[in-house]
Amino acid sequence: MRIPRIFVDLPLAENATFDLPDGAFQHCCKVLRLKTDNPVVLFNGHGGQYHGYLTNVQKRSAQVHIEQFEDLHNESPLRITIGQSISRGERMDYAIQKAVESGVFKIQPLFSERCEVRLNDARMEKRVQHWQQVAISAAEQCGRGVVPEICMPTNLSDWVPRCKESLKFTLHHHSAQPLSRFTAPETKDIALLIGPEGGLTDNEVTQAHEVGFHSIALGPRVLRTETAPIVALTAINLLWGDL
């Protein structure tokens, strides 16, 4: 049986015993029906993972005893931040999930000129919490010890000039160059700007170019907004990362 791998937002240490948080308890003991002495792997998103086992499993609670820490070496050597224009429903979830699996460092949701999603403050906070949980679940599944941060949404026009990564790309067919013409920066920090379903406007592309973004093309076909980050991350990690 595969040992469950669970995220817990708690400090973790070897030879420690603690109460399993409610969400983790529901998943381990109600959904997976784990019992006392069943092994589990825990991580808190700060790197590495901890091996332990369940103790004192009751109807409404359980404890975990941690035995040992395992350092992980599966993070991409590149720190890639994606500025992702917000898309509707499951498209955004898919983009975040697959970006985490592909090794993204951070995701910045963006409101762009052709973005059809509008969020007030209350809905925005709930969406960020939801997207962060999508990222956590993806990190659980793919074995990462670090959970990428999902930032609070902001306007594309505000984020682009604040973007300080050494190498910055936008996926746009106008004046695009092949990715292979570029060289990875020594600092290993890269930014990717992804447009919405209707694409970036000429004004947005111009604004990005003015602050150092380079337009790149990833083949002759048009990519959907939720597909573009996966293809871009794969291509960049294949050239300069760990693929």
User: Do 13 and 119 belong to one domain?
Assistant: no
**Cβ–Cβ contacts within 10 Å for residue 184, how many?**
16
User: Do 113 and 61 belong to one domain?
Assistant: no
User: What is the structure's pLDDT at 171?
Assistant: 86
CATH number of the domain that residue 20 is part of: 2.40.240.20
Q: Which domain range does residue 143 map to? A: 79-240
User: Do 55 and 144 belong to one domain?
Assistant: no
How far apart are the C-alpha atoms of 25 and 30, rounded to whole Å?
7
Distances (CA, A) of 125 to 9, 35, 66, 194: 18, 36, 33, 22
User: What is the structure's pLDDT at 219?
Assistant: 83
User: Do 138 and 62 belong to one domain?
Assistant: no
User: What is the structure's pLDDT at 175?
Assistant: 62
User: Do 189 and 230 belong to one domain?
Assistant: yes
CATH number of the domain that residue 201 is part of: 3.40.1280.10
| Count: domains in the chain | 2
User: Do 64 and 111 belong to one domain?
Assistant: no
How far apart are the C-alpha atoms of 12 and 62, rounded to whole Å?
16
Q: Which pLDDT tens digits describe the chain residue by residue (243 residues)?
A: 689 999 999 999 999 999 999 999 999 999 999 999 999 999 999 999 999 999 999 989 999 999 999 999 999 999 999 999 998 879 999 999 999 999 999 999 999 988 877 878 788 899 999 999 999 999 999 999 999 999 999 999 999 999 999 999 998 766 678 888 899 899 999 999 999 988 899 999 999 999 999 999 888 888 899 999 999 999 999 999 999
User: What is the structure's pLDDT at 206?
Assistant: 93
